C-alpha cells in the first residue's frame, strides 16, 4: 500500500555519504532570553528492559539539543526558537502505557512532531497519529512495512529489508551454504528470517531448520540449540533483540555450538559484557552482526571523532541507534524550516515528505532524487555494515547499501 504522496524516484549512487558538518561542534553559547521554546515528544522506554536502547538514544538526543543551543537554536520566518524534547517513558510496557502517553503528547501537550522508538509503540501509534494528524519520526522500529502504513510516519532507521540482506550476502560470500534460522516469535524476527531464507535459496544454499521461541516466556534455548548442533550446519542466523540474541549466543557456546552465528542487533561491547557476563569475549568469537553503520565505523573522520567524544562523555560506545537519535532533532528543525511553521502539522507532514537531507547528519543517508531524504513511502535509506567480533569488540567486515531490494557492496 503506497501513501498519497508524490512519487520520488531513486537517484544518486549508494556510495554518496554526507560528511558531518563541523559547525555542530564547539560553537559559542547564545542567550535564549527572546527565543520561544518548541516542544517535541519522544515516546519510548528509558526504564525497564527497553532502557538498553532508550537511555543511549536519550543521551545522544540531549547532547544534540545542547549543541543546537550553543549554535543559537534555529530560526523560522525570522523568529528564534529553542528546541526541547519531552520524554514520555512507557517503562518498557508499550502496549499498556504507550497509548495513553501518545495521547497525552499529541492531544494534551499538542506536540507538533513526535519521535518513536521500537516496533510495538510504532504499531500502536498509527491510528492515534491519524486522528491527531501529527507527523512522527520513527527512530528504532525495524520491522518491514512500517513507514508505508501512514502518511504521518517517516522512518530514519534502516529496516529489516536494509539490515538483514547484508548478513545473508556476507555468509554467502564466505562460502556458507547449509544454514539454520532461530529467532523470537515476533514480526521483527520473522521479517529477518524470511529475508535470510530467500537469500540462501537464491544463492543455491539450504535452510536446515527454522525454529522460533516465545519471547519473555522461554529463556531455555538449550534443546533448540542442541538440535541445531546435531544438524552440523555451516552457520546459523539468530533473529531477536540485543538481550535475546546475547542469551542465545551464550547458551550456544555452552552446548558446544561454535559455528558462525549472525544476527541484527546493534549490540555494543558494553552491552555484551553486561548481558553475557565476564566470558563475553569468548562467547562472541565467530559471531557477526549486520546493522546500520555505527559511528565508530563511519567513513567520515568527523563522525568517528564524534564517536570518541560520545564515549568520553557518557562512558560507553555509541551504536547505530545512538547516531539516529542524534540526527532526529536536526531533521525536525529542517522540517520546521521547510514548513515555515512550528505549529502547522499538515504543513510539517508535507515538509517531511519533500525534505532534503539536512547538512551535518551523522548517518550516511543515501539520497533519493533531488537529495530527498525519504522515498514515496516515508522510508529513509542509509549505509549498513557487517561486523565480526574480535578481541573484545567489533571490526568492520563489509559495507553495503540495500535500496528497493538491490544489495550492493560499498568500498570506501
| Per-residue pLDDT tens over the stretch 81-98 | 999 999 999 999 999 999
Question: Looking at residue 188, which CATH number applies to its domain?
Answer: 3.40.50.2300
Is residue 4 a part of any domain in this protein?
no
* Separation in Å, CA 41 to CA 145, 199, 346: 23, 38, 17
49 lies in the same domain as 75: yes
171 lies in the same domain as 259: yes
pLDDT (0 to 100) of residue 33: 54
Is residue 266 a part of any domain in this protein?
yes
* Separation in Å, CA 236 to CA 178, 183, 223, 325: 9, 10, 15, 31
148 lies in the same domain as 61: yes
C-alpha cell at 355: 525534505
143 lies in the same domain as 191: no
pTM summary value: 0.84
Q: Is the pLDDT of residue 20 over 50?
A: no
Domains in the chain, number: 2
261 lies in the same domain as 306: no
Is residue 8 a part of any domain in this protein?
no
238 lies in the same domain as 100: no
Q: Is the pLDDT of residue 187 over 90?
A: no
Q: What is the pLDDT of residues 23-41, one digit of tens each?
A: 443 334 445 457 899 999 9
286 lies in the same domain as 305: no
Is residue 14 a part of any domain in this protein?
no
Is residue 17 a part of any domain in this protein?
no
Q: Which of 183, 301, 311, 180 is nearest to 247 (CA)?
A: 183
The span from the first CA to the last CA of the chain, in angstroms, equals 35
Do 42 and 114 contact (CB within 8 A), yes or no?
Answer: yes
pLDDT (0 to 100) of residue 365: 94
Pick 28 or 322 by higher pLDDT.
322
pLDDT (0 to 100) of residue 143: 82
181 lies in the same domain as 244: yes
402 lies in the same domain as 287: yes
197 lies in the same domain as 228: yes
* Separation in Å, CA 77 to CA 81, 337, 339, 350, 356: 10, 8, 10, 18, 19
User: What's the domain range around 229?
Assistant: 161-297+385-410
Q: How many CB atoms lie within 10 A of CB 212?
A: 18
151 lies in the same domain as 26: yes
- The fraction of the chain above a pLDDT of 90, given in percent, is 79
Buried b (16+ CB within 10 A) or exposed e, 19-45: ebeeebeeeeeeeeeebeebbbbbbbb
Is residue 11 a part of any domain in this protein?
no
In DSSP notation, 65-90 reads HHHHHHTT-EEETTEEEEEEEEEEE-
252 lies in the same domain as 357: no
Is residue 1 a part of any domain in this protein?
no
Q: What is the pLDDT of residues 303-320, one digit of tens each?
A: 999 999 999 999 999 989
User: 153-162, 182-191, 328-337 — which one is most confidently predicted on average?
Assistant: 328-337
* Separation in Å, CA 231 to CA 176, 234, 257, 260: 14, 9, 11, 14
Stretch among 222-226, 227-231, 369-373 having the lowest mean pLDDT: 369-373
* Separation in Å, CA 117 to CA 139, 297, 375: 5, 23, 20
Amino acid at each position: 500500500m503506497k501513501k498519497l504522496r508524490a512519487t520520488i524516484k531513486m537517484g544518486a549512487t549508494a556510495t554518496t555519504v554526507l560528511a558531518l558538518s563541523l559547525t555542530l561542534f564547539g560553537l559559542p553559547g547564545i542567550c535564549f532570553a527572546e527565543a520561544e521554546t518548541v516542544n517535541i515528544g519522544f515516546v519510548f522506554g528509558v526504564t525497564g528492559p527497553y532502557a538498553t536502547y532508550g537511555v543511549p538514544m536519550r543521551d545522544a538526543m540531549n547532547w544534540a539539543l545542547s549543541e543546537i543551543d550553543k549554535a543559537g537554536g534555529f530560526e523560522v520566518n525570522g523568529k528564534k526558537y529553542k528546541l526541547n524534547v519531552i520524554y514520555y517513558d512507557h517503562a518498557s510496557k508499550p502496549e499498556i502505557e504507550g497509548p495513553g502517553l501518545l495521547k497525552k503528547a499529541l492531544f494534551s501537550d499538542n506536540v507538533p512532531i513526535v519521535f518513536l522508538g521500537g516496533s510495538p509503540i510504532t504499531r500502536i501509534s498509527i491510528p492515534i497519529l491519524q486522528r491527531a494528524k501529527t507527523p512522527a519520526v520513527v527512530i528504532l522500529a525495524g520491522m518491514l512495512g512500517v513507514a508505508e502504513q501512514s502518511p504521518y510516519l517517516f522512518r530514519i532507521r534502516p529496516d529489516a529489508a536494509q539490515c538483514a540482506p547484508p548478513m545473508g550476502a556476507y555468509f554467502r560470500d564466505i562460502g556458507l551454504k547449509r544454514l539454520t534460522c532461530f529467532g523470537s516469535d515476533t514480526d521483527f524476527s520473522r521479517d529477518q528470517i524470511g529475508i535470510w531464507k530467500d537469500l540462501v535459496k537464491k544463492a543455491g544454499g539450504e535452510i536446515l531448520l527454522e525454529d522460533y521461541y516465545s519471547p519473555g516466556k522461554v529463556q531455555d534455548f538449550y534443546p533448540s540449540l542442541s538440535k541445531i548442533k546435531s544438524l552440523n550446519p555451516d552457520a546459523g542466523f539468530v533473529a531477536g533483540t540485543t538481550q535475546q540474541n546475547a542469551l542465545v549466543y551464550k547458551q550456544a557456546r555452552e552446548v558446544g555450538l561454535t559455528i558462525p552465528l549472525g544476527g541484527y542487533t546493534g549490540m555494543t561491547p558494553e552491552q555484551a559484557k553486561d548481558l553475557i557476563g565476564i566470558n563475553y569475549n569468548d562467547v562472541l568469537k565467530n559471531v557477526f552482526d549486520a546493522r546500520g553503520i555505527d559511528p565508530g565505523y563511519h567513513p567520515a573522520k568527523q563522525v568517528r571523532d564524534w564517536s570518541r567524544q560520545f564515549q568520553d562523555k557518557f562512558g560507553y560506545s555509541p551504536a547505530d541507534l545512538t547516531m539516529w537519535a542524534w540526527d532526529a532533532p536536526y531533521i525536525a528543525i529542517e522540517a520546521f524550516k521547510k514548513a515555515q511553521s512550528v505549529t502547522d502539522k499538515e504543513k510539517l507532514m508535507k515538509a517531511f515528505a519533500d525534505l532534503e537531507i539536512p547538512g551535518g547528519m551523522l548517518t550516511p543517508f543515501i539520497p533519493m532524487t533531488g537529495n530527498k531524504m525519504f522515498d514515496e513511502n516515508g522510508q529513509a535509506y542509509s549505509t549498513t555494515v557487517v561486523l565480526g567480533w574480535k578481541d573484545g569488540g567489533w571490526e568492520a567486515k563489509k559495507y553495503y547499501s540495500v535500496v528497493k531490494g538491490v544489495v550492493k557492496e560499498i568500498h570506501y
